[in-house]
Chain A
Amino acid sequence: MKAPGEVVSTLSHVPGVAAAMVVGSADGQIVEASPMKGAAAGVPDTRKHTAALAAYLYSKVSRASHAARLGTPSFMRLEAERGNICVVGLSEVVLVTIVTPEANLGRVRLDMMQAAREKA
């Protein structure tokens, strides 16, 4: 079982991942986070916001998935104008990555799933 710091370090080195975080699924608080790549100096750090909202969103998506009798979601991706937010849920934490539009999403997904298996 990998420590949160190792998981974050591994994921943050995947090409296209701007930031990787391990977040408490119940409280939405950051357990471990990598620095935000490419963030301009003086720009407010929004990782805390992203972490809380992504964990919250994942809990709602899980509910929808269970309501549709599809079981627990294994991977969630939110596509936005300037990139993606990817989430993989474990029991007590969720892995969250902020991904640039140029990233290879297949690789990101694979590495997040792999990290989740190792973390479990």
Chain B
Amino acid sequence: MTEPTVVEPWVAAPLKRLAEDARLISGVLLHPSGRAVGQFGFSKAADVMSICALTSAINASSRELGRQLYGKPFYEMHHAGGDRQVFMARCMAGEQEFLFVGVFDRESSLGMVEIYFSEFQKALEKLIPHTEPAAPLPAGDFEGELNRSLDSLFGPIR
């Protein structure tokens, strides 16, 4: 497994542990706005960019779908493909909300991923630095925010 690359160093250890324990092939931790916080298993910034944008959109849609259907948002999603499966869920650390999307195959199972994801959540909760929340960026700067986080993960595009 490739070592996680992270924007916020405190997520590196829990992300590495999640990847190893749950036997994930790849995964991305991001803010609901689509800004990447850390990733493993990807070598191209473009892939992470697409995943962040899609995850952010899927999260927004599934929350609204949950609200419309059951009066409360869906926070977890699983898609079982032929060979590979996708697990998507949100986690809270202090006041901060994160989204996680991970890919696994038959070397793991949904049950395993759920178990280790709950441990990951607890680790984030414990490790989150207690600092003042950063001032929110101007709304609608999705692309700029995404590019800044990708620059931190993969280096600026030359």
Contact = CB atoms under 8 A, between A and B. Distances in A.
Contact of A52 (B80, B106, B114): B114
B78 to A, nearest CB: 9
A68 B108 CA distance: 22
B115 A49 contact: yes
Interface stretch (A4-12, A22-30, A104-112): A22-30
Nearest to B80: A27
Interface residues on B, range: under 10
Contact of B110 (A27, A49, A59): A27
Contacts of A51: 111
B43 interface: no
Interface residues of A, number: 14
Contacts of B114: 48, 52
Interface string B105-121: 01011111011000000
Q: Would you call the interface of chain A mostly helix, strand, loop, or mixed?
A: helix
A53 B115 contact: yes
A56 B109 CA distance: 7
Interface in B100-135: 106, 108-112, 114-115
A56 B110 CA distance: 10
Nearest to B109: A28
A116 interface: no
Interface in A57-114: 59
Given A27-B109, A28-B109, A56-B111, 15 more contacts: A24-B111, A27-B80, A28-B111, A28-B112, A29-B111, A48-B111, A48-B114, A48-B115, A52-B109, A52-B112, A53-B115, A55-B109, A55-B111, A56-B109, A56-B112
Interface of B: 80, 106, 108-112, 114-115
Interface of A: 23-24, 26-29, 48-49, 51-53, 55-56, 59
27 contacts: A26-B109, A27-B80, A27-B109, A27-B110, A27-B111, A28-B109, A28-B110, A28-B112, A29-B110, A48-B111, A48-B114, A48-B115, A51-B111, A52-B109, A52-B111, A52-B114, A52-B115, A53-B111, A53-B112, A53-B115, A55-B109, A55-B111, A56-B108, A56-B109, A56-B111, A56-B112, A59-B109
